[in-house]
Amino acid sequence: MAFGAAFWTAAGFTAFLGVIAFVSFMAYWSLRRMDEVVLRARMYMNRKRLFRGFLSVAIGMITLFALVLAGLVGTAFDVTLPSETSLAAFVAAFVFIGFGCYDFYGLSRPPVMKRSPPPEGG
């Protein structure tokens, strides 16, 4: 096992990503556990889209954390990860994060108002 500078740098980065993944999952979990009356009163937006956005960001961060953790374990045991596996996990993580951001963007736009045609007689 090699516990040099590269290992401790990767361990710090892994811990940082682990905290981010934990916070994103806890944000999703606390939103899901929120009382239904409070959710209805406070959120005029589409709740399903909000839940889906939080969940997809949490899954993306957990995937990225797992990839970095696998890299850390590989550094400790002096083995490398297959590039196809690393690329697939990296792309999957950012697809989930991008999908979550797209859901949040949809929530930030004002709702489209139906416009009625002007009265013809006036």
The string of pLDDT tens digits covering residues 11-57 is 898 999 999 999 999 988 888 787 776 666 556 557 778 888 999 99
pTM of the model: 0.75
- The domain containing residue 35 runs over which residues? 18-108
Is a pLDDT exceeding 80 seen at residue 106?
A: no
Asked whether residue 113 is domain-assigned, the answer is no
pLDDT tens-digit profile of 63-104? 999 999 998 888 888 888 899 999 999 999 999 999 999 988
Asked whether residue 116 is domain-assigned, the answer is no
Asked whether residue 122 is domain-assigned, the answer is no
Q: What is the 3-state secondary structure (H, E, C) of the chain?
A: CCCCHHHHHHHHHHHHHHHHHHHHHHHHHHHHHCCHHHHHHHCCCCHHHHHHHHHHHHHHHHHHHHHHHHHHHHHHCCCCCCHHHHHHHHHHHHHHHHHHHHHHHHHHCCCCCCCCCCCCCC
Asked whether residue 33 is domain-assigned, the answer is yes
**How many domains would you assign to the chain?**
1
